[in-house]
Structure 1
Amino acid sequence: MKKKYALLSLALTLSIGTLNAQTPAKFIDRANMNLSVKPGDDFVQYSNGTWLKNNVIPAKETRWGSFNQLRDFNINAVKTILEGTQSSQAAAGSVERRVADFYAAAMDSLTIEKLGFSPIQADLNQINAIQFKSQIITEIARMRKTGAGSPLFSFYVGQDRKQVDKMVPQLGQGGTSLPDRDLYLKSDARSLKIQEGFKTYVATLFELIGTSPAQAKANAESIFQLEKKLAEAQMSRLEMRDPYKTYNKLVFADFNQKTPAFNWALTFQDFGTKAPDSVLVSAPKFFESVNKMLIETPVETWKTYLTWNLLKGSSSYLSSPFVKASFTFNQIVSGQKVQTPRWQRMSSLTDGVVGELLGQLYVAKYFKPEAKVRMEELVKNLRKAFEIRIKQLDWMSEETKQRALAKLYAFTPKIGYPDTWKNYEGLEISPNTFYQNMRNAGAWGFQENIAQIGKPVDRTKWGMTPPTVNAYYSPVMNEIVFPAGILQFPFFDAKADDAINYGGIGGVIGHEMSHGFDDSGSQYDKDGTLRNWWSKEDLAKFKAKTELLGKQFDAYTVLDTIHVNGKLTMGENIGDLGGLNVAYEAFKMTKQGKSKTKIDGFTPDQRFFLAWAQVWRSKTLPETAANLVQTDPHSPAEYRTIGAPVNMDAWYQAFGVKPGDKLYKKPEDRIKIW
């Protein structure tokens, strides 16, 4: 299972950044705070209460906060780049020309409207011509290879977690459309509303390609029931967090024998490669269940399912009735009021599809080299602070400490942008054919990925594009990655005092480092190999501490009776707790950290924690909040604001938090892990 641990949910990641934002007059603005509230009673209100009161979520958004404000500014910067390419006379094949052509086609709504669903007509005919069960699997392979969709299961080529120098084929569960398997299986009011909305969505797309209303409705029910069976066969999100449970290396012949309906030898041939000796399968029981479904389910049902997958995957790139149908369903899940403007969606899509072409233009215009130098210094300081904290742990043996330190020393930091840019050689981009550009990109991406079988691991690759406002840790690479987009206020500003930068980007750096030592990442050694490096006693102590953290977050209420899932969010919560502690340790090594000098009335320590709090300043629509608590491994922003500080003695001292205050925890109850 491909793993990387990001600072923010990837599904809602805030893309595109610039470092040219006007420097705020004050890095901590009292006007955003509610100083009438005691910080020990409600640190969220104290630090951001007036901002939360005065700001509403814009109609085109599902959340609104520091990240979103940054994104809104940044997406306009990318728009400037993209619109600038439209008037350029860049040579054919140049980076600027290819980016310009992709964006031009994406924004050519007149042509897109005129074409309707004709771009997918040949695929519809191909699916409709299927007569035999064996053709179903052949068509699934064709759809993958040509960028038409990824039905039934997931497939990619990635590092073998127990032999990290090898790239191997990996198969995982899939095939469903709703955000989480449980939405098919639950019967509460919210789940039933989403189920009905989903059926309407499916029926609408079928009607848009000429299916009668009665047949479209029947198709929708058939799709829902088929996907419900797939959901029943899937592992839960919580189970999927276990890297050992999802590591199942199977001899190819044995796997083929257990799931003969897939005809894997022919499938890999259709993928364009030979059958491997072995495959990694994250959920073997899922494939055994689906094998049975392939045998028992009629061909016509599978044809309907494949048609649905084609429609679902292409609807955002077709004419407006298809786009509107997709958004209408998304409204039910997220609560978003109006569709995001086309230019914004297409700017983000350009980044998503050819991000390392766009990234080159972005870095040249907006990324300041001094930001990279400063980040390298911060990473160095945070690593030193983490080293100090590991050495001082009172619960870990010396032997395990040495292994933890070895892993820490082996971290590879990547900052700003790749040393070697991906050039997308062979990807055809036309200024006139938006849907075909998307298909070409899908086919190119599949071919690029499958070509890695048997090849050396490319450690220069990035999992995010340079303009992205996010960061991540990869356990198999043992690397921490900070794209250029996140290196700006409120995370980072070259003009800010250390308290701001250490409480902001320092917390982010520490967060990603701590992912290497969270409940999942800690199961990988310094080389990125899934291999235990803990003593039995130390591991037991570590698990006991994580259980306490899980209980803390289980107690947080999101909506009505819906609580945070402390086990699902465990990795991110450990990342925040470890990250903020390490950032504070590093901050105390600075001149400001050692001083008591106030700025704007706040001590250095107060500014550090307020910087952390303003990063997570956010409001969320109820529908989105309910969806995220079920699907997102990150805790809600308000609980990220307080989850780590309430366990840190320094926070109590900084704000004079005393017994009787609502957030007060006795010293012996404060959770200390890293």
Structure 2
Amino acid sequence: MKSNDLTPPIALRCGCFGSPAFAGLDLSGCDPGVRAQDDLYRAVNGRWLDETEIPADRPRHGSFSQLNDRTNAQLRDLVDELVAVPQAPGSVADQVSAFYAAHRDTEAIDRAGLAPIRSLLAEIDGLQTPLQLAQWQGRMQGQLDTPVRLWVAPDFEQPGVNRAITWQGGLGLPDRAYFLDSHDPRLAAARAAYAEYLLCLATLSGEPDPAAAAEQVMQIEQRIAAVHWDRVDNRDPARLFNPMTPAELMRDAPGFDWVAFLASAGLVRIDRLSVSQPSAVRGIGQLFAEVPLADWRCYFRLHCLDAAAECLPAAFREAHFAFHGTALTGVKTERPRWQQAISELNRALGDGLGQLYVARHFSLAHKLKAQALVNTLLAAYRESIENLSWMTPATRARALEKLAKYTCKIGYPEHWRDTRQLLVLADDALGNRQRAARFEWQRLAATAGQPLDRQEWAMPPQTVNAHYNPSLNEIVFPAAILQPPFFDIAADDALNYGAIGAVIGHEISHGFDDEGSRFDGDGVLRNWWIDADRAAFDALGARLVAQYEAYEPLPGRRLNGRLTLGENMADLSGLQIAFKAYRRASAGAAAQGNDVCSDAQRFFFGWAQVWRDKVRPERAFQLLAIDPHAPAEFRANGAALNHDGFHAAFATRPGDRMFKPPDERIRIW
């Protein structure tokens, strides 16, 4: 607080340490010594940040992890009830119960030793020709991160058809920069930890020369990293879309039998696929031709052991945690085994577990309230587009057409995936994981070249997340995120619009960020912009890049404004639209605030509370390299800084750290 400022800190003016309290707002987390005009994030979360310790088994802790904890506890209660009594053989409840019990039974896993993975290791040892190597990698799709991975998704030019796509992979460290940056000591430490982990895996599995095996793998991954595209390049859908036939792929990327690879993956009858990073595919094809087959066998042995380590004896589990947990993210202790089992269940039987979850924890009232919020946000977005000052009528008409074609999924799917043919055994943790991954890949591969099923969900309802899909032009809000602090059916509109309203606005805005805006309302990748409008839009994006690249979350490590541009655009536009929607929804209603906290102020407090988060330095460093989202404090403050409503609500003025002159504020949508 400035010495000549006679007003109390805004935290006090907003009732954060006095009455009345408002449902949905955690008053205890505010910092009375910080004014929102100087730092909205710390004004709302400062006391919580100062007093909260990150749990020893977490790389970070905050609103998202607390909601994940609540959801996992709900899931545990459900599954424990199933495990306690016999279930009908072959039923969803029986599969969930058996899978969970097997993963939790570490004593049985320890007794089994390496027996569950020996057949897979023997398969690798039996690979004697390049053709066999290609075929084996095809069979491993969905189970192993191979140097070139396969997926199936809507075609960028014909979004009504599913298309097989390739994607670069094969690295045991989080990003290519971990191998290629020789200057940052933190990256060097991560490489050393990875080399040590590989040595441990090689030793535990009985490699004749563990040190040589670890070095062979490091050398292969160094070469893979050298041909990978960086994460900024991977944000350009036009560059990623490269349709070709399997024969053309064989011609353009010699050195590897791509046809055999695709056929063994179950993609036998496809007429074309999209090669996402063509230069990386060519480079990896060349690696397969140049690197001795014996070295590839070693590489895949250690990668399979890494992928399976959590379902192998204690020494493997401990080594896996020491690297993936402590070395990369700073976590001190492992999560309880039951939490690991819930995570495994969500991946393997997400729909089966989701059916049980929504039946108990997601009401029709929640769905209807969320749908009403979505409708209000879409109406506000339409109004905003209609009044854009920088867009010409022709482009505006196309933007409105796209918005009118949005679809929305809330809560859970109308139809659940059928997993009755999946074999799940109560004494085979690794086998369950492998069979579930293979089952899901076979389901996905069978859709290649087939009409798109618009009823499909990409994530189960117990996921604390939301997303926008540009090819389907849809926004999706699973049941689990529709809980406090994001959505509280008992809270007033100001808090809900500032929290889940801004999340909804964020996902809507992804259709109009620098990536999503390249797709039209039917999901087709095409330029629907007038050139002058696109130039004006790109100029606004460049200003946002500059704003976020000025932030320095860690000493000497600034934000990558281009990597985070899409998410920053969505945060900014989502918050702006949510505020307009709140004003629209509350027009004519009696104010719910009082003389210490206005409705508008509470809206922004709800927004800042959503981003409450503490991150270990190791994890923060990792996220700066791989995460397209900015750190929480910059998401909260960076969007509010450009928001006219924020400045009006808190009466900011020159000298306040959050003040930004009106003519410098970035307004996109």
Residue 242 (structure 2) pairs with residue 245 (structure 1)? no
Secondary structure at the counterpart of residue 188 of structure 2: helix
Residue 137 (structure 2) pairs with residue 143 (structure 1)? no
Matched positions, count: 647
- Tell whether the 8 Å contact from 2:103 to 2:341 is kept in structure 1 after alignment: yes
Partners of 1:582 and 1:265 in 2: CA distance:
48
- Tell whether the 8 Å contact from 1:509 to 1:579 is kept in structure 2 after alignment: yes
User: What is the one-letter code of the residue matched to 2:665?
Assistant: R
Residue 93 (structure 2) pairs with residue 93 (structure 1)? no
Q: Name the counterpart of 1:20.
A: none
Residue 604 (structure 2) pairs with residue 609 (structure 1)? yes
2:490 to 489, 495, 500: 495
Aligned residues with identical type, % of pairs: 38
- Tell whether the 8 Å contact from 1:499 to 1:592 is kept in structure 2 after alignment: no
- Tell whether the 8 Å contact from 2:136 to 2:264 is kept in structure 1 after alignment: no
- Tell whether the 8 Å contact from 2:91 to 2:420 is kept in structure 1 after alignment: no
1:302 to 296, 312, 317: 296
- Tell whether the 8 Å contact from 1:554 to 1:564 is kept in structure 2 after alignment: yes
Query: Runs of at least 4 residues of structure 1 off by over 4 A?
Result: 592-597
User: What is the one-letter code of the residue matched to 1:670?
Assistant: R
Secondary structure at the counterpart of residue 106 of structure 1: helix
- Tell whether the 8 Å contact from 2:140 to 2:265 is kept in structure 1 after alignment: no
Partners of 1:600 and 1:220 in 2: CA distance:
66
Secondary structure at the counterpart of residue 509 of structure 2: helix
Secondary structure at the counterpart of residue 99 of structure 1: helix
Q: Name the counterpart of 2:154.
A: 159
2:117 to 115, 120, 128: 120
1:49 to 46, 49, 57: 46
How far apart are 1:525 and its partner, in Å? 0.2
2:207 to 202, 206, 211: 211
2:185 to 178, 189, 193: 189
Partners of 1:634 and 1:496 in 2: CA distance:
27
1:573 to 556, 568, 572: 568
Residue 223 (structure 2) pairs with residue 226 (structure 1)? no
Q: Name the counterpart of 1:382.
A: 377
How far apart are 1:597 and its partner, in Å? 4.4
Partners of 1:177 and 1:249 in 2: CA distance:
28
Partners of 2:225 and 2:49 in 1: CA distance:
38
Moved more, 568-577 or 134-143: 134-143
How far apart are 1:25 and its partner, in Å? 7.0
Partners of 1:165 and 1:75 in 2: CA distance:
35
- Tell whether the 8 Å contact from 1:595 to 1:604 is kept in structure 2 after alignment: no
- Tell whether the 8 Å contact from 1:648 to 1:670 is kept in structure 2 after alignment: yes
Matches within 5 A, 1:165-184: 165-184=160-179
- Tell whether the 8 Å contact from 1:593 to 1:605 is kept in structure 2 after alignment: no
Write out per-residue CA displacement over residues 261-297 of structure 1, whole angstroms, 9 at most, x where no aligned residue.
3222222332234253222101111121122212211
Q: Name the counterpart of 2:334.
A: 339
Secondary structure at the counterpart of residue 557 of structure 1: coil
- Tell whether the 8 Å contact from 2:256 to 2:286 is kept in structure 1 after alignment: no
Moved more, 44-53 or 29-38: 29-38
Matches within 5 A, 1:258-407: 258-330=252-324, 331-407=326-402
Secondary structure at the counterpart of residue 64 of structure 1: strand
Q: Name the counterpart of 1:477.
A: 472
Partners of 1:34 and 1:266 in 2: CA distance:
61
How far apart are 1:118 and its partner, in Å? 1.1
How far apart are 1:595 and its partner, in Å? 5.1
Residue 438 (structure 2) pairs with residue 424 (structure 1)? no
User: What is the one-letter code of the residue matched to 1:250?
Assistant: M
Q: Name the counterpart of 2:248.
A: 254
Partners of 1:437 and 1:379 in 2: CA distance:
39
Secondary structure at the counterpart of residue 438 of structure 2: helix
Q: Name the counterpart of 1:38.
A: 35
How far apart are 1:461 and its partner, in Å? 0.7
Partners of 1:165 and 1:485 in 2: CA distance:
29
Q: 1:509 to 1:254 in 2, by over 3 A?
A: same
- Tell whether the 8 Å contact from 1:372 to 1:416 is kept in structure 2 after alignment: yes
Moved more, 427-436 or 237-246: 427-436
User: What is the one-letter code of the residue matched to 2:215?
Assistant: E
Unaligned 5+ runs, structure 2: 1-20
Q: Name the counterpart of 2:667.
A: 672
Q: Name the counterpart of 2:77.
A: 80
TM-score by length of 2: 0.94
How far apart are 1:148 and its partner, in Å? 4.7
TM-score by length of 1: 0.94
- Tell whether the 8 Å contact from 1:647 to 1:672 is kept in structure 2 after alignment: yes
Moved more, 125-134 or 509-518: 125-134
Unaligned 5+ runs, structure 1: 1-23
2:99 to 81, 99, 102: 102
Write out per-residue CA displacement over residues 438-493 of structure 1, whole angstroms, 9 at most, x where no aligned residue.
11111111211111122110111111110111100000010000000011111111
Secondary structure at the counterpart of residue 465 of structure 2: coil
- Tell whether the 8 Å contact from 1:359 to 1:467 is kept in structure 2 after alignment: yes
How far apart are 1:56 and its partner, in Å? 1.1
Moved more, 346-355 or 68-77: 68-77
How far apart are 1:601 and its partner, in Å? 2.8
- Tell whether the 8 Å contact from 2:138 to 2:263 is kept in structure 1 after alignment: no
Q: Name the counterpart of 1:622.
A: 617
- Tell whether the 8 Å contact from 1:194 to 1:333 is kept in structure 2 after alignment: yes
